[in-house]
Chain A
């Protein structure tokens, strides 16, 4: 049987604007339509950020609610797994980073397993108190953490929280490769991240993405090494050198082609649920 690979689409993120690519979805309606389009193309998971009315990243529960309601209301056939970010605004509070999870109870939510410098200008803070509270709340709310790791130390941090009961096995990692101040995106580093994960958190599943020049290398690498993949304009607004992405669907369609060329098949949302151990 062909191996199933989960495609996650990260449709908008908190950063790129229409000036960077006019096809970045920004409003709840645009995001909901984009997610539906990507689901039809083969995405099994949608990682969602929200934008305020000026296009800046926001953790507004209203925006998350509106988007989810639009998606389910306009497209009741869409069974894509929703993965809502907890890190969509550097100035959000611990409460606003979790309020939408508590209310909407998505199947997944992001869990950034450590703090780091944000670019070279600010801080991306995920202090111990927040991570302990978020991990326990996600268990209570039955929201599976997607553990975003930007360097190997964050994998070690996940192992600590697993041992402490803040996180519950099996874990699912999203390896964020090539981000400024994170681990550079190379095959050597991806192998190291995978081996570190297997040593510290055996039995975990993993996915990865690469920003910028390493995007394709990370995509091919993940498929070759049995991981899952994330694509979309949160990470790359360019489809190829000098070529703006026409849509998130374009990225998903390429991922489907790569998976099939390798002899695999993109996982359906229900297959993704089985792989990730989602209980609903």
Chain B
């Protein structure tokens, strides 16, 4: 059984953008993990887990 990738879901306190980071990318993003891809500030953490039903509403940070 697998459950696909796990994500941390955020929104940006500045621009309101909803985005997510895959948890297996923690070593790649290091201290930038959780930052808004547009504003480069730390986002507001909402939830974490495997793909949620509203997953598509969140842009994946790459």
Contacts and interface: CB of A to CB of B under 8 A. Distances in A.
Interface of A: 10, 13-17, 19-20, 49, 85, 87-88, 110, 112, 118-121, 124, 148, 176, 178-180, 184-185, 209, 211-214, 234-237, 241
B55 A185 contact: no
Given A180-B6, A241-B62, A124 B24 contact: no
B24 A13 contact: no
Given A119-B6, A178-B24, A212-B24, A87 B1 contact: yes
B30 interface: no
A98 B62 CA distance: 41
A211 B1 contact: no
A15 B50 contact: yes
A19 B52 CA distance: 9
B5 A212 contact: yes
Contact of B5 (A19, A124, A211): A211
B50 A213 contact: no
A157 B23 CA distance: 27
Interface of B: 1-6, 22-25, 27, 48-51, 53-56, 62
Given A119-B50, A212-B22, A13 B1 contact: yes
A211 B4 contact: yes
A237 B51 contact: yes
Given A178-B24, A180-B23, A213-B25, A118 B3 contact: yes
A10 B3 CA distance: 11
Nearest to A13: B2
Nearest to B49: A119
Given A20-B55, A180-B6, A241-B62, A112 B50 contact: no
Nearest to B23: A180
25 contacts: A15-B3, A15-B51, A19-B53, A19-B55, A20-B56, A119-B3, A119-B50, A124-B1, A176-B2, A178-B5, A178-B24, A180-B3, A180-B5, A180-B6, A180-B24, A184-B24, A185-B24, A211-B2, A211-B24, A212-B4, A212-B5, A212-B24, A213-B24, A234-B1, A237-B51
A231 B36 CA distance: 32
Which 7 residue pairs are nearest across A and B when measured between Cβ atoms?
A212-B5, A180-B6, A87-B1, A15-B3, A19-B53, A20-B51, A235-B2
